[in-house]
Amino acid sequence: MKKIIAFLFLFQLSFGQVNPEEVETASNEFENNFYEALKQKAIENYDKAIVSLEKCLQKEPNNPEVHFQMGVNYLALKSYADAESAFQKAVDLEPKQRWYWNGLYDVYYQTKDFNKSIPIVEKLVTFDANMKEDLVSLYMTTQQFDKAKTVIDDIESKGTLTKAMETYRMQIQSMQNGVKPKVADLEAAIKNNPKSEQNYIDLIYVYSTANQEEKAFETALLLEKEIPNSDLAHVSLVKFYINANDIPKATESYKRVVKSSKIDFKIKHRVLNEYLIFATKNPQLMTEIDNTLTYFDNNAGMDVNKELGKFFYNQNNFELAQKYIEKSNANDVDVVDLQLNIYDFNKQFEKMAKKSEEFIDLFPTKANLYYYAGKGNNNLKNFKKAKDFLEMGIEYVIDDPKLESGFCKQFIICADGLSDAKMKQTYQKRLDGISKK
């Protein structure tokens, strides 16, 4: 009994759980050699530790802890075959000890023997569920994507996926593009694992592409019921509620989507477009859009205010078009043209003159900027300033009869304002020539 107690203390010592001074000095040869092995390992004398452990094995050849310690020292020396053999012996003797399995995994991990690692990690998962992420990585490395997806779904059903697991899932989805899952398989997967979000999403997609909108809607509702915190459910629900003209529910789903940190920006943008069309029929909803635009601010590559401005410009709603265009990126050429067109349409000549002059500094060879600067100043009775801009800008007009005609008309207005008959005659003649072409 005394030997067993001493051995247990030594086992704890090997994992740094007690101070060596607290362990009573072993009285027999086995314990002395085992203690010596631990001491030599601690100061990285792995060869000497192995010699002491071999003496222990002479006394107790079937002691799993001794074999485990042999493996630890062989692994430190990068003697992988010997380490594997020692850890395997420990596992065979005591398969319920997690650390022995961990020793084998350490060998295979360092030697990059991924195929041998998998059954070991599958066993380790039974001891520690956190090892599932290691298992997914191994399945991905060995291209066992179906198994990886099954484990990812299982992880997700019990909590939130880490960024690494989200990335793996996206990789699997991109590789499976074009491979249409079967309805029966997805329904079975949902039944077997009702907390796996992706199976619902895949089934909704299958139903939607088959124009089975009612079944797609039922699946989205089931997803919302089984996983109430699922934001992805609302990507589908918002469309269904819009089609049903259910304003409160459509708005709730829209806000869930755009506020979610889990949903890709492209999907959010698509949902915004769907809700925006809905809002044109229900103008009171524009307030909801304005209140959620901040959730798009940090998404590079997409100026949402510009898109809204273009949308309303094409709808001939110049009041709203101006509102959003003025909030967008002023260095964007498309925005420049839209903004000046809107000012021209709304006869806001002071704004048009000021903005066009600012934009000329950014785009000095863009002819229409000089046209707007000239027209704006003409309407403000700043004829001399208008003439300067028109004379600079007309030099940049190339193969654009419409713009050239516009310049000529502004020159004629300018000439009247300056009482310059010669200038008026010159540009009237040029305008007549353009008209005859």
How far is it, in rounded angstroms, from Cα 417 to Cα 420?
8
Residues 6+ apart with CB under 8 A from 161: 152, 155, 169
State which of 87, 111, 135 marks the end of a domain. Answer: 111
Band the pLDDT of 145: cuts 50, 70, 90.
confident
pLDDT for the residue 178: 55
Instruction: Find out whether 377 and 383 touch, Cβ atoms under 8 Å.
Output: yes
Average pLDDT over the chain, rounded to an integer? 85
Q: Domain end: 111, 146, 181, which one?
A: 111
What per-residue confidence (pLDDT) applies to 176?
Answer: 63
Indicate whether 362 belongs to any domain.
Answer: yes
Q: Identify the pLDDT of residue 181.
A: 64
For the chain, percent helix, then strand, then coil, each to nearest 5? 75, 0, 25
Per the domain annotation, does 306 fall within a domain? no
- Do the domain assignments include residue 64? yes
- Sorted by sequence, the CB contacts under 8 Å of residue 330 that are 6+ apart come out as 336, 359
Note the pLDDT tens digit of each residue in 172-212: 776 665 555 678 888 888 888 888 887 888 888 788 777 78
C-alpha 36: how far from its chain's center? 53
- What is the structure's pLDDT at 25? 43
Q: How many domains does the chain have?
A: 2
Residue among 347, 350, 359 at smallest CA distance from 377? 350
Number of residues written out for the chain: 437
In a domain, 182, yes or no: no
Query: Alpha carbon 209 to chain centroid distance?
Result: 24
Tokens, residue 170: 């996206």
Q: What are phi and psi of 18, to 5 degrees?
A: -135, 160
Residue 44 and residue 34: Cα distance in Å, rounded?
15
Q: What is the CATH number of the domain that holds 41?
A: 1.25.40.10
Roughly how many angstroms between the first and final C-alpha of the chain, as a whole number? Answer: 114
Compute the distance between CA of residue 235 and CA of residue 358 in angstroms, rounded to an integer.
42
Contacts of 73 (CB under 8 A, 6+ apart): 37, 41, 46, 49, 50, 53
Check pLDDT > 60 for residue 385: yes
Flag whether 335 is in a domain: no
Q: Is residue 308 part of a domain?
A: no
What average pLDDT does the segment 220-229 reach? 89
Contact present, 31 and 13 (Cβ < 8 Å): no
Tell which wins on pLDDT, 142 or 90: 90
- Does position 375 have pLDDT exceeding 90, yes or no? yes
Give buried/exposed letters for 42-73 (b at 16+ CB in 10 A, else e): eeeebebbbebbebbbeeeeebbbbbbbbbbb
**Is 398's pLDDT higher than 80?**
yes
Contacts of 427 (CB under 8 A, 6+ apart): 407, 408, 411, 412, 415
Tens of pLDDT, residues 240-259: 999 899 999 999 999 999 88
Alpha helices in 246-363 (DSSP H): 247-259, 265-281, 286-292, 304-314, 318-325, 333-345, 349-362
**Euclidean distance between CA atoms 391 and 33, whole angstroms:** 100
Categorize the per-residue pLDDT at 6 as very low, low, confident or very high, splitting at 50, 70 and 90. very low
Residue pair 108/71 in contact (Cβ under 8 Å)? The answer is no
Domain residues for the domain of 418 are 347-437
Binned at pLDDT 50, 70 and 90, residue 12 comes out as very low
Let me know if residue 205 belongs to a domain.
no
Q: Is residue 52 part of a domain?
A: yes
